[in-house]
Amino acid sequence: MYIREMFENKKVVMSAEVFPPKKNGMLEGVIRALKEIKSLDPDYVSITYGASGSGGQTTADVASVVIDAFDMTAVAHMTAVNMTKELLEERLAMLTRKGVKSILALRGDIVEGSKFYDFRHASELAAYISERYPDFELLGACYPEGHPEAKSLDADLDMIKLKTECGVSHLVSQLFFDNETFYDFMEKAEKKGIKATVSAGIMPITSVQQVERIVSMCGVQIPTAFAKICANYQGADLYNAGIDYAIGQIRDLIDHGVKGIHVYTMNKGDVARRIFDAFEGVRK
């Protein structure tokens, strides 16, 4: 089923994100996480694409496991970084063979060695795919606090609108810790005339190192209530408090009528279980 059909038919669409192994073939870790995630009955599972465009084969391999071994809907991430038209054609043929119908089209993280060839932005990747392969459903990223490189949130919203005009029908948000930021973003997106459905991206934080990494990579704001948790708890207490904070965020989002919840479970099956179990009744 396409993701857009899920939004037409379900009360809440709850998805999980995993990452493929760095090297081809070493799938044990992600398979262990997928076993646990399968038992939680997520609406779909998205699989990241290695930064610098190094992914592709491993993303497709994991997508294939999600579809064939676990009978779940897979969304394959794909990036414009290091992507030529020839390579994109190969990747799309591979995803078609593996049964993938939905792609999260991204610019990609810029790391050492990242280069741009035929595509500079997610919208260009989306336009190329939607014009030639309309059977692929396209998803895109959005940023409740604005993308760090954008001049302003308003300028970024113009680019998100462009992305939807290039074929993206569903947006998945960057993680955020203050729900007010997301509600404000949704209001502004609606005023811009952005019609795509949106999933709110929630990352359960379970260690201080994770918070530091996220702030430096994504530049997201840390609200006072969340900063207090990070300052006052350690070890298992922080792990539990981080999961409870994420559950509180999701509960509030659903109470505000948000239909899409994307959980950055990464490959932590236990964290996924705690979060999904808390909403079992709401989703049925």
* Residues found near ligand FAD in the complex (CB under 6 A): 48-49, 51, 77, 79, 106-109, 121-123, 141, 147, 149-150, 156, 159, 162-163, 172, 174, 201
Q: How far is the CB of 211 from ligand FAD (least distance, A)?
A: 17
Q: How far is the CB of 133 from ligand FAD (least distance, A)?
A: 18
Q: For ligand FAD, which residue has the nearest CB?
A: 107
CA atoms of 192 and 220, how far apart (whole Å): 23
- Tell me whether residue 184 or residue 244 sits nearer to ligand FAD (CB atom): 184
Mapping DSSP to helix (H, G, I), strand (E, B) and coil, where does residue 23 land?
A: coil
CA angle 137, 71, 205 (to 5 degrees): 75
In order of 97, 249, 251, the CA distances from 254 in angstroms are 36, 9, 5
- Tell me whether residue 199 or residue 206 sits nearer to ligand FAD (CB atom): 199
Q: Which of 264, 248, 260 is nearest to 197 (CA)?
A: 260
Q: How far is the CB of 116 from ligand FAD (least distance, A)?
A: 10
Scan for tokens 């999980």, then name that residue.
16
- Tell me whether residue 150 or residue 247 sits nearer to ligand FAD (CB atom): 150
- Tell me whether residue 12 or residue 18 sits nearer to ligand FAD (CB atom): 18
Residue 167 near residue 187 (C-beta atoms within 8 A): no
CA atoms of 25 and 28, how far apart (whole Å): 9
Q: How far is the CB of 156 from ligand FAD (least distance, A)?
A: 4
Q: How far is the CB of 88 from ligand FAD (least distance, A)?
A: 15
In this structure, what are the phi and psi dihedrals at residue 239, rounded to the nearest 5 degrees? -55, -50
